Amino acid sequence: MAILFLDIITTASILFVVAAGLLIVFGVLKIINFAHGGFLTLGGYAALVTTQLEWNPWMALPVALLSGLVLGAIVERLVVRPLYARPLDAILATWGLGIVVVQMITIAFGRGTNFVQSPVQGAIPIAGETYSLYRLIMLGVAIILGAAMIGILQGTRLGLTARAVIMNENLSRSLGINSGLVRFATFSLGSGLAALAGALITPLLSVDPLMGVPWLLNAFMLVMVSGTSLISLGAACLVLGGAQVAISTYSSPVLGALSIVVLAAVLLRVRPAGFARA
């Protein structure tokens, strides 16, 4: 039982870390970044490069974050900016972008599966069981990330302008807020977070060019049911991620893999606002 509980909260943490970048981009830019999976893969390979260079495994995180930030910044200028007025087209263009990123990675690294060195090893005793230390670290990362993002949104000037753009972009612009800059910063940050998430999950999984797709789908569904709120996202990750763990444990892993997308789809039909307050 303790194991199940730990599995649920750590799985929810991982989902939260993966989906957070997608959520802030959706919140501010009102577009779904389908390149999120591609950026995640990029982060995974950043971790792989760190391992291959025999750097300290923790170095994977800044390397991934930086590569995501830089690529996100370039992409925002070239691809995303012209599509602000066409949100459905932005989904398609960012999907195309995901393809480009994945193909470039394939050309550089091949199609094979690779493994990344974990910065911490082993398990620690907790609540009468022994449990993977790295998964517990992911719980801490999710909490810190969530708290930091809420802190930035609620406590800083940048956060205030971002919230203004989320609520009413036209009004914000007429009040002199440079919404273009807010969008630029948000998209870069979202991409950086995606790559960071990719580096964070790789010690638990293998690295291959298509690793981003299932994460993209789950993150997409979680964001759909969470709207633009980080708190809702946390709730969605706990409930749907919890359902995934429970179904995988007690029923079959195949059904478990489906649980997030199916439950989210049903939830959206019954309650279009999802976990967000209507």
Partner 1 sequence: MPDSAALAYPVRLPSQRSRIERWLLLVFSVVALALAAAGPLLLDTYSISILIRSFLYGAIAVTLDILWGYTGILSFGQAAFFGIGAYALGLTVTQYDFTAPIVIAALIGGPLVAAATAGLVAWLGFGPKVSPLYISVITLVLSVIFVQVIYSGGDFTGSSSGLSNFDTFDIAMEGWFRIAGAFLVAVTAAGWIFVRSDFGRLLVAIRENEQRCRYCGIGTARVKALLLVGSAIITALAGFAYAGFNDVIAPDLGNFQFGTQLVIWVALGGRGTLIGPAIAAVLIDFISAWLSGSLPFIWQLIIGLVFIVVIVLLPQGLGPAVARLFLRGDSKPVAAGLVALPDADAAGSGAVPAVQVENVTRNYGSLHVLRNVSFTASPGELVSLVGPNGAGKTTLIRCLSDGQERSAGRVAIEGNPIDRLPPEACVRFGLGRKFQTPNVFDALTVAESLRIARSRQERLSVTRTADEVRLPAAAMRVVQATGLSSLLGTTVKHLSHGAKQALELAMVLAMEPRVLLLDEPTAGLTRAERSLIGEVLVELVRAHGLCILLVEHDLEFVRDISSRIIVLHQGSIVMDGTVEEVTNSELVRTIYTGEPHAVAG
- Residue 207: beta bridge partners? 114
83 near partner 1, rule: CB under 8 A: yes
- Residue selected from 4, 74, 99, 147 as contacting partner 1 according to rule CB under 8 A: 99
Retrieve residue 185's tokens: 């910063």
Query: CA 2 to CA 54: how far, in whole Å?
Result: 36
Q: Which stretch binds partner 1 (CB under 8 A): 115-123, 165-173, 187-195, 266-274?
A: 266-274
243 near partner 1, rule: CB under 8 A: no
Q: How far is the CB of 29 from partner 1 (least distance, A)?
A: 14
C-beta of residue 271 within 8 angstroms of C-beta of residue 227: no
C-beta of residue 192 within 8 angstroms of C-beta of residue 24: no
- Residue selected from 3, 59, 100, 204 as contacting partner 1 according to rule CB under 8 A: 100
Give one DSSP letter per residue of the chain, joined into a string.
-HHHHHHHHHHHHHHHHHHHHHHHHHHHH-S--TTHHHHHHHHHHHHHHHHHTT--GGGHHHHHHHHHHHHHHHHIIIIIGGGTT-HHHHHHHHHHHHHHHHHHHHHHH-S--B----SS-SEEEETTEEEEHHHHHHHHHHHHHHHHHHHHHHHSHHHHHHHHHHH-HHHHHHTT--HHHHHHHHHHHHHHHHHHHHHHHTTTS-B-TTTHHHHHHHHHHHHHHHTT-HHHHHHHHHHHHHHHHHHHHHS-HHHHHHHHHHHHHHHHHH-TTTTS--
- Residue selected from 97, 197, 222, 247 as contacting partner 1 according to rule CB under 8 A: 97
217 near partner 1, rule: CB under 8 A: yes
- Residue selected from 54, 107, 157, 176 as contacting partner 1 according to rule CB under 8 A: 107
Q: Please, which residues have CB within 8 angstroms of residue 251's CB and are 6 or more apart in sequence?
A: none
Give the residue with the Cβ less far from partner 1, 6 or 260.
Answer: 260
Q: Which stretch binds partner 1 (CB under 8 A): 8-16, 76-84, 136-144, 170-178?
A: 76-84
Give the residue with the Cβ less far from partner 1, 43 or 274.
Answer: 274
257 near partner 1, rule: CB under 8 A: yes
272 near partner 1, rule: CB under 8 A: yes
- Residue selected from 58, 86, 127, 168 as contacting partner 1 according to rule CB under 8 A: 86
Q: How far is the CB of 263 from partner 1 (least distance, A)?
A: 10
91 near partner 1, rule: CB under 8 A: yes
96 near partner 1, rule: CB under 8 A: yes
- Residue selected from 61, 69, 93, 219 as contacting partner 1 according to rule CB under 8 A: 93
Q: How far is the CB of 28 from partner 1 (least distance, A)?
A: 17
Positions in the binding site for partner 1 (CB under 8 A): 32, 79, 82-83, 86, 88-89, 91-93, 95-97, 99-100, 103-104, 106-107, 213, 217, 220-221, 224, 252, 254-255, 257-258, 261-262, 265, 268-269, 272
